[in-house]
């Protein structure tokens, strides 16, 4: 479109673009600051890393199917479980959730984008860059192999001399900076960009979940950042923060890690709760039961999540007082979590539940998450945990909460929101096949791990002796993986096929309650023709029930020049900055002064340019003022 | 284990429904089985039922405790399983009712728009709180009970974790041994734990939960065995390439037999009788074995590797990975890393003759029982 070339990238001019056609092509994606495109790229990259983590898991299960097997070596197995854990937590779980947050939250609060669109793009590129960088470690002498929590001294230079752990430190640092900025961005967005009338107690639950998640990110990531810095100094510059013989402490790492690590698992589950809280009321045709209690619950869970980190370390010898206190605080988290589960149940109880694929995933979520929650309470009982800790019981537990919890909720969200953002439904028949295969495969794979833990199988062992009685359940567990994989493949086919060929979706296919259903599918770049006026909880539902079925425009002062929409300009700067940081990171890991100078030099230039460049954005004048797409 | 009765017996064992002692083979308890079958929801318990025997009989099963520590912990595990099963049944039941009764069947009118109920929400805030409070009592009590052994008659053993083997020494004696921990039955044993390199964890599921061995720090745990026997375990904190092969053996013996073992360890006798074994003793020095290993009763005092005093009396070698026989000893000496990936014992590229002699020597390392012993 010719008018695009008229955009002024910096300086004082403002140019009106007379159309609302979106730019196409690779470059438009690399330079986009549109939260919906960024969200889609988060999802795409997250699914890519999820595939890699799945391959790693597959190899591990092949190795463990039989005792004394030799599918992979001990050294490779250690790299596989480390990369699997790191990938699932940092490169698949969080990005998929942040993808939903990007896609949904600005629209649900009635905003046109996030508070800092360029920062948002930088977050994305730092995550993708850091993740890819971590994976290049396979080409530089081996991946990190000290486990995802990377305890010292096993990860110290003395015991792990290769560059693998350096890739862990630098790669996670870079993608972690991206996550931290996402947290700041969404806090600011939710506080400042809510549409008129969108008071705190009218926020959709997914927005509340995002708000608390962002708070957790802002408070939990700094300990990780510090920890990674300390270890970078230890490993690269000969410092001794963690070296016992020089007065350092390995438990410093363990504590800083879990001060981050426990809130991190709530960062992974909180948005999942938010997704369930969106899908359940819509598919049951009634409001969320106990909205205020649900809000208080997520806040309580977020608060308590900072008070429980020692439950990962009951066996490190902190004594009965410390263990008792942290056992009690950990058990306490079950109360607000239980309230949420029962409120979801009550929302459905007496409702009219549509059992489509999204709801299948919600039911799968509730069943498996409750199992995971129960084993979680069992792990909180400190003396019993001395048996469970580091056994397969723990492996079973966190897969029940992270796969059965987080991932099932992500799938629920995918079937729920896919039509909104692509304009097409995911196929329901394939979806149900995917659900049943994944649900059954998941339980066949992971339920036996409870038994293996009770039978005394420690986690992170590449093999086990034949006489320990572990063979049967290990082989059943591996059989489950085949079923699980079949389901995942069907899911992938469904997404790829439906993206281009799925049934067309209208703007409001589910009879939705929140603002995203009030705009076309897929939404235009500017989301709303006019900023909506919010007149109640479930803003769109209120208008459908009590109004004329359309959002009213907000008062005049909330709008730009009549008939135009002010938008932030695309920019390549975030990508440039992220690449520069990656180059500097390689410089550190490879001990290359040249790369350091180039990388950090470009970072300085990029930051300087960003600071002194004023982006006045551009204006869009929409062609049509319809709430629904013509073909919808 | 094909008959349903046996499944139920297994189920009963898996969940400790009866107060009877646990362990050994599964018995058929048809009377109790019938009662259980009537009262318990099969859907939840079937997996446990199917697996009962395998779960209990596994040599490292925490469901088959052999001492008071593991017994206490199992008590807590049991009570929590019951509470959690109750919660699961309630949630699963509610989901089932929703599936059956509250489906959308094309109605156009909306269901009642119920927004909340303070009374109900208080109910499911307070009831879980009470259930958790019940579990909390045992949790706190056991935390303190298990923290340190009470009483005077406590045997102390110092445990040092190494990549990838265990060192045990008995304070007040000159006994140092590796990988095979000997304890007397019926006596509390306090383990004083530390590490020479990275973090490890000491775990014998049938005797008690795990405690980490942290470099620069001393941790304490205690165990006690009710019955004589050999109890297996393994390192439970990832410690490197050889982590999976860092295994543990506790040999619990009646006090008299333990005293005899102590006697043999305090005064080891090394008398290689055959010419081959005598040759092996020479190789032990000339091939640098002695720079890492100590053998009580000889002049070999290396401290880097495991102490080999009375090695021939041990059940296993290589961090309890291999049986202690001539064939496995030879394989181990020939190429340690081939047997145990990541092992820090160097491959000395020994000739077959030397290996044969060394094996003969190592197999001669046993001290005869003192006269008049049990």
What is the distance between the alpha carbons of residues A16 and A31, in angstroms, rounded to a whole number?
20
Does the ipTM surpass 0.85?
Answer: yes
- Does residue A593 lie in a domain region? no
Angle at A266 between CA A51 and CA A106, to 5 degrees: 80
The residue out of B210, B237, B266 marking a domain boundary is: B266
Mean pLDDT within A511-521 = 95
Label residue A150 left, alpha or beta by phi (over 0 means left) and psi (-120 to 50 means alpha): left
Do B189 and B280 have their domain in common?
Answer: no
Residue B251 — very low, low, confident or very high, per pLDDT cuts 50/70/90?
A: very high
Do B163 and B194 have their domain in common?
Answer: yes
Chain B residues within 8 A of A289 when measuring between CB atoms: 114-117
How many Å lie between the alpha carbon of B53 and the closest alpha carbon of chain A? 10
| pLDDT at residue B47, rounded to an integer | 52
Q: How many domains does chain B have?
A: 3
Q: Where are the alpha helices (DSSP H) in chain B?
A: 4-15, 30-39, 42-57, 68-101, 118-145, 255-266, 275-286, 326-334, 336-339, 352-363
Specify whether the CB–CB gap between B70 and B145 falls below 8 A.
Answer: no
Specify whether the CB–CB gap between A514 and A528 falls below 8 A.
Answer: no
Q: Where are the alpha helices (DSSP H) in A426-554?
A: 428-454, 471-501, 539-546
Residue B275 — very low, low, confident or very high, per pLDDT cuts 50/70/90?
A: very high
Torsion angle (degrees, nearest 10) of CA B163, B166, B172, B174: -90
Torsion angle (degrees, nearest 10) of CA B156, B161, B167, B172: -30
Is pLDDT of B130 > 80?
yes
pLDDT tens digits for range B47-66:
555 556 678 889 999 999 99
- Does residue B186 lie in a domain region? yes
| pLDDT at residue A11, rounded to an integer | 35
Do B284 and B357 have their domain in common?
Answer: yes
> Which one, of B234, B210, B243, B233, lies nearest residue A146 by Cα?
B243
Contacts of A525 (CB under 8 A, 6+ apart): A20, A22, A34, A36, A567, A620
Q: Residues B18-22: contacts with CB within 8 Å, 24+ apart?
A: B22/B56, B22/B63, B22/B64, B22/B65
| pLDDT at residue A446, rounded to an integer | 97
- Does residue A303 lie in a domain region? yes
Do B220 and B321 have their domain in common?
Answer: no
Domain span at residue B232 reads: 154-266
pLDDT tens digits for range B353-366:
999 999 999 999 99
- Does residue A30 lie in a domain region? no
Note whether A378 contacts B: Cβ–Cβ < 8 A.
Answer: yes
Mean pLDDT within A68-82 = 96
DSSP 3-state of B182: strand
Residues of chain A numbered 45-74 and touching chain B (CB < 8 Å): 73-74
How many Å lie between the alpha carbon of A394 and the closest alpha carbon of chain B? 12
Label residue A423 left, alpha or beta by phi (over 0 means left) and psi (-120 to 50 means alpha): left
Q: When comparing pLDDT for B362 and B10, which is higher?
A: B362
Chain B residues within 8 A of A63 when measuring between CB atoms: none
Specify whether the CB–CB gap between A456 and A391 falls below 8 A.
Answer: yes
DSSP 3-state of A276: helix
- Chain centroid offset of residue A230 CA: 26
Q: Which residues pair with B166 in a beta bridge?
A: B161
Specify whether the CB–CB gap between A321 and B148 falls below 8 A.
Answer: no
Residues of chain A numbered 186-245 and touching chain B (CB < 8 Å): 244
Is pLDDT of B43 > 50?
no
Domain span at residue A291 reads: 36-526+538-547
> Which one, of A172, A384, A372, lies nearest residue A261 by Cα?
A172
CA atoms within 13 A on the CB side of B19: 0
| pLDDT at residue A615, rounded to an integer | 79
Do B256 and B297 have their domain in common?
Answer: no
Share of chain A above pLDDT 70, in %: 94
Tally of CB atoms within 10 A around A251: 20
Contact call for A389 and B111, based on CB within 8 A: no
> Which one, of B291, B267, B259, B266, lies nearest residue B373 by Cα?
B259
Chain B residues within 8 A of A510 when measuring between CB atoms: none
How many Å lie between the alpha carbon of A383 and the closest alpha carbon of chain B? 6
Which of A18-22, A458-462, B195-199 has the weakest average pLDDT?
A18-22
Is pLDDT of B25 > 90?
no
What's the CATH number where A366 sits? 1.20.210.10
> Which one, of A163, A178, A150, lies nearest residue A91 by Cα?
A178
Is pLDDT of B20 > 90?
no
| pLDDT at residue A322, rounded to an integer | 96
What is the distance between the alpha carbons of residues A217 and A113, in angstroms, rounded to a whole number?
20
Contact call for B121 and A363, based on CB within 8 A: no
The residue out of B209, B238, B266 marking a domain boundary is: B266
- Does residue A219 lie in a domain region? yes
DSSP B203-244: EETTTEEEEEE-TT--EEEEE--SS-EEEEEE--S--STTGG
Give A333's DSSP letter: T
The residue out of B234, B266, B298 marking a domain boundary is: B266
What is the distance between the alpha carbons of residues A173 and A127, in angstroms, rounded to a whole number?
10
Q: Residues B349-357: contacts with CB within 8 Å, 24+ apart?
A: B350/B283, B350/B287, B354/B280, B354/B283, B354/B287, B355/B330, B356/B276, B356/B330, B357/B276, B357/B277, B357/B279, B357/B280, B357/B283
What is the distance between the alpha carbons of residues A40 and B228, in angstroms, rounded to a whole number?
63
What is the distance between the alpha carbons of residues B94 and A284, in angstroms, rounded to a whole number?
15
What is the distance between the alpha carbons of residues A315 and A327, in angstroms, rounded to a whole number?
12
Do B259 and B282 have their domain in common?
Answer: no
Tokens 């939404």 locate to A523
> Which one, of B22, B18, B44, lies nearest residue B31 by Cα?
B18
- Does residue B132 lie in a domain region? no
How many Å lie between the alpha carbon of B261 and the closest alpha carbon of chain A? 27
Residue A575 — very low, low, confident or very high, per pLDDT cuts 50/70/90?
A: very high
Contact call for A473 and B72, based on CB within 8 A: no
Q: Which residues pair with B201 in a beta bridge?
A: B212
What is the distance between the alpha carbons of residues A367 and A355, in angstroms, rounded to a whole number?
15
pLDDT tens digits for range A141-191:
899 999 999 999 999 999 999 999 999 999 999 999 999 999 999 999 999
Q: Where are the alpha helices (DSSP H) in A198-308?
A: 205-237, 250-284, 291-304
Do B307 and B340 have their domain in common?
Answer: yes
- Does residue B219 lie in a domain region? yes
- Does residue A444 lie in a domain region? yes
How many Å lie between the alpha carbon of B108 and the closest alpha carbon of chain A? 10
What is the distance between the alpha carbons of residues A577 and A292, in angstroms, rounded to a whole number?
42
- Chain centroid offset of residue B97 CA: 43
Specify whether the CB–CB gap between A163 and B207 falls below 8 A.
Answer: no
Specify whether the CB–CB gap between A420 and A523 falls below 8 A.
Answer: yes
What's the CATH number where B331 sits? 2.60.40.420
Residue B14 — very low, low, confident or very high, per pLDDT cuts 50/70/90?
A: very low
CA atoms within 13 A on the CB side of A333: 29
- Does residue B161 lie in a domain region? yes
- Does residue B70 lie in a domain region? no
Contact call for A350 and B111, based on CB within 8 A: yes
| pLDDT at residue B278, rounded to an integer | 94
DSSP 3-state of B103: strand
What is the distance between the alpha carbons of residues A479 and A84, in angstroms, rounded to a whole number?
19
- Does residue A381 lie in a domain region? yes
| The residue count for chain B | 374
pLDDT tens digits for range A403-434:
999 999 999 999 999 999 999 999 999 999 99
Backbone angles phi, psi at A386, to 5 degrees: -60, -30
> Which one, of A442, A435, A436, lies nearest residue A480 by Cα?
A442
Choose the closest CB to B80 out of A316, A378, A472.
A378
Choose the closest CB to A331 out of B104, B136, B244.
B136
- Does residue B95 lie in a domain region? no
Q: How many domains does chain A have?
A: 1
When the pLDDT of each residue in chain B is averaged and rounded to a whole number, the result is: 87
Is pLDDT of B372 > 90?
no
Specify whether the CB–CB gap between A405 and A269 falls below 8 A.
Answer: yes
How many Å lie between the alpha carbon of A252 and the closest alpha carbon of chain B? 12
Share of chain B above pLDDT 70, in %: 85
Share of chain A above pLDDT 90, in %: 88
For A347, nearest residue in chain B (alpha carbons): B114
Terminal Cα distance for chain B, rounded? 40
Which of B106, B135, B144, B222 should be substituted to probe chain A, the one whose Cβ sees the most A Cβ atoms within 10 Å? B135
Contacts of A334 (CB under 8 A, 6+ apart): A373, A376, A377, A380, B128, B132
- Does residue A191 lie in a domain region? yes
- Does residue B102 lie in a domain region? no
Label residue A458 left, alpha or beta by phi (over 0 means left) and psi (-120 to 50 means alpha): beta
Mean pLDDT within A592-615 = 93
What is the distance between the alpha carbons of residues A588 and A592, in angstroms, rounded to a whole number?
7
Do B168 and B256 have their domain in common?
Answer: yes
Specify whether the CB–CB gap between B209 and A387 falls below 8 A.
Answer: yes
Chain A residues within 8 A of B58 when measuring between CB atoms: 455-456, 468-470
pLDDT tens digits for range A455-494:
999 999 999 999 999 999 999 999 999 999 999 999 999 9
What is the distance between the alpha carbons of residues B178 and B168, in angstroms, rounded to a whole number?
6
When the pLDDT of each residue in chain A is averaged and rounded to a whole number, the result is: 92
Specify whether the CB–CB gap between A602 and A574 falls below 8 A.
Answer: no
Specify whether the CB–CB gap between B252 and B227 falls below 8 A.
Answer: yes
Give A534's DSSP letter: P
- Does residue A516 lie in a domain region? yes
Chain A / chain B CB contacts < 8 angstroms: 294
DSSP 3-state of B13: helix
Mean pLDDT within A601-617 = 89
- Does residue B115 lie in a domain region? no
Is pLDDT of A495 > 80?
yes
DSSP 3-state of B166: strand
């Amino acid at each position: 479109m010719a008018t695009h070339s008229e955009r002024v990238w910096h300086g004082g001019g403002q140019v009106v673009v007379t159309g609302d056609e979106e730019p196409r092509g690779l470059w438009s994606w690399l330079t986009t600051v549109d939260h919906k495109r960024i969200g889609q790229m988060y999802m795409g990259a997250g699914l890519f890393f999820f595939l890699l983590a799945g391959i790693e898991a597959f190899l591990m299960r092949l190795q463990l199917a039989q005792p004394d097997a030799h599918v992979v070596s001990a050294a490779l197995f250690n790299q596989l479980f480390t990369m699997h854990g790191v990938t699932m937590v940092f490169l698949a779980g969080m990005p998929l959730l942040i993808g939903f947050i990007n896609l949904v939250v600005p629209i649900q609060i009635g905003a046109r984008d996030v508070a800092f669109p360029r920062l948002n793009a930088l977050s994305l590129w730092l995550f993708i860059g850091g993740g890819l960088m971590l994976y290049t470690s396979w080409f530089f002498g081996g991946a990190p192999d000290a486990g995802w929590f990377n305890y010292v001294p096993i990860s110290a230079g003395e015991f792990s001399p290769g560059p693998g752990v350096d890739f862990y430190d630098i790669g996670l640092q870079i993608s972690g900076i991206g996550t931290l900025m996402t947290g700041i961005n969404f806090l600011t967005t939710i506080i400042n960009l809510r549409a008129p009338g969108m008071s705190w107690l009218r926020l959709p639950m997914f927005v509340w979940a995002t708000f608390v998640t962002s708070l957790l990110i802002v408070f939990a990531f700094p300990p990780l950042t510090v920890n990674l810095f300390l270890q970078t100094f230890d490993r690269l510059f000969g410092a001794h923060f963690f070296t016992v013989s020089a007065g350092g402490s390995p438990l410093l790492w363990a504590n800083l890690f879990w001060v981050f690590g426990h809130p991190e698992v709530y960062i992974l589950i909180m948005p999942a709760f938010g997704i369930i809280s969106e899908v359940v009321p819509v598919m049951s045709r009634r409001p969320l039961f106990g909205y205020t209690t649900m809000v208080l619950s997520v806040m309580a869970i977020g608060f308590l999540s900072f008070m429980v980190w020692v439950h990962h370390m009951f066996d490190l010898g902190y004594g009965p007082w410390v263990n008792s206190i942290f056992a009690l605080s950990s058990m306490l988290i079950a109360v607000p979590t239980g309230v949420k589960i029962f409120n979801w149940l009550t929302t459905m109880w007496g409702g009219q539940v549509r059992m489509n694929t999204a709801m299948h995933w919600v039911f799968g979520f509730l069943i498996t998450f409750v199992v995971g929650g129960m084993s979680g309470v069992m792990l909180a009982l400190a003396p019993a945990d001395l048996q469970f800790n580091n056994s397969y019981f723990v492996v079973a537990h966190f897969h029940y909460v992270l796969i059965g919890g987080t991932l099932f909720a992500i799938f629920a969200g995918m079937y729920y929101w896919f039509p909104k953002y692509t304009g097409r439904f995911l196929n329901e028949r394939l979806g149900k096949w995917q659900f049943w295969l994944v649900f059954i495969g998941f339980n066949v794979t992971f339920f036996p791990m409870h038994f293996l833990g009770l039978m005394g199988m420690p986690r992170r062992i590449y093999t086990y002796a034949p006489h320990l009685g572990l063979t049967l359940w290990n082989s059943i567990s591996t059989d489950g993986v085949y079923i699980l994989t079949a389901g995942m493949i069907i899911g992938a086919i469904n997404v790829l096929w439906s993206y281009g060929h799925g049934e067309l979706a209208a703007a409001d296919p589910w009879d939705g309650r929140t603002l995203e259903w009030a705009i076309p599918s897929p939404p235009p770049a500017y989301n709303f023709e006019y900023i909506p006026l919010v007149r109640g909880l479930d803003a769109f539902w209120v208008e459908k029930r009590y109004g004329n079925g359309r959002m009213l425009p907000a008062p005049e002062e909330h709008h730009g020049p009549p008939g135009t929409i002010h938008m932030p300009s695309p920019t390549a700067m975030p990508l440039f900055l992220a690449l520069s940081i990656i180059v500097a990171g390689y410089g550190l890991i490879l001990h290359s002064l040249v790369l350091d100078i180039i990388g950090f030099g470009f970072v300085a230039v990029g930051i300087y340019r960003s600071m002194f460049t004023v982006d006045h954005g551009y204006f869009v004048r929409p062609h049509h003022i319809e709430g629904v797409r013509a073909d919808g | 284990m094909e008959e349903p009765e046996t499944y139920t017996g297994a189920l009963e064992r898996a969940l400790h429904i009866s107060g009877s002692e646990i362990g050994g083979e599964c018995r058929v308890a048809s009377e109790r089985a019938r009662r259980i079958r009537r009262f318990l929801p099969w859907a939840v318990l079937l997996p446990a039922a199917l697996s009962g025997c395998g779960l209990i009989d596994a040599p490292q099963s925490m469901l088959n405790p052999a001492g008071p520590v593991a017994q206490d912990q199992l008590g807590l595990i049991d009570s929590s399983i019951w509470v959690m099963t109750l919660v699961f049944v309630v949630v699963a039941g509610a989901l089932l009712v929703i599936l059956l009764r509250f489906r959308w069947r094309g109605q156009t009118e909306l269901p009642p728009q119920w927004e909340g109920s303070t009374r109900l929400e208080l109910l499911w805030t307070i009831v879980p709180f009470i259930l958790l409070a019940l579990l909390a009592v045992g949790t706190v009590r056991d935390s303190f009970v298990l923290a340190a052994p009470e009483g005077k008659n406590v045997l102390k053993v110092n445990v040092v974790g190494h990549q990838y083997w265990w060192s045990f020494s008995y304070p007040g004696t000159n006994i140092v041994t590796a990988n095979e921990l000997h304890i007397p039955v019926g006596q509390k044993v306090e383990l004083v734990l530390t590490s020479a390199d990275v973090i490890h964890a000491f775990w014998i599921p049938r005797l008690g939960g795990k405690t980490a061995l942290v470099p620069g720090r001393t941790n304490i745990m205690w165990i006690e065995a009710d019955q004589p026997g050999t109890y297996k375990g393994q390192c439970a904190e990832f410690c490197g390439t050889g982590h999976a092969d860092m295994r543990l053996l506790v040999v619990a013996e009646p006090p008299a037999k333990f005293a005899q073992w102590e006697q043999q360890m305090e005064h080891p006798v090394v008398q290689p009788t055959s010419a081959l074994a005598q040759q092996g003793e020479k190789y032990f020095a000339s091939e640098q074995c002695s720079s890492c290993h100590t053998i009580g009763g000889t002049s070999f005092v290396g401290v880097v590797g495991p102490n080999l005093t009375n090695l021939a009396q041990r059940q296993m070698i290589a961090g309890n990975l291999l049986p202690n026989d001539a064939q496995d000893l030879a394989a181990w000496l020939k190429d340690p890393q081939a047997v145990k990936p990541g092992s820090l014992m160097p491959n000395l590229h020994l000739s077959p003759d030397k290996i044969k002699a060394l094996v003969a020597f190592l197999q001669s390392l046993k001290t005869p029982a003192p006269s008049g012993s049990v």
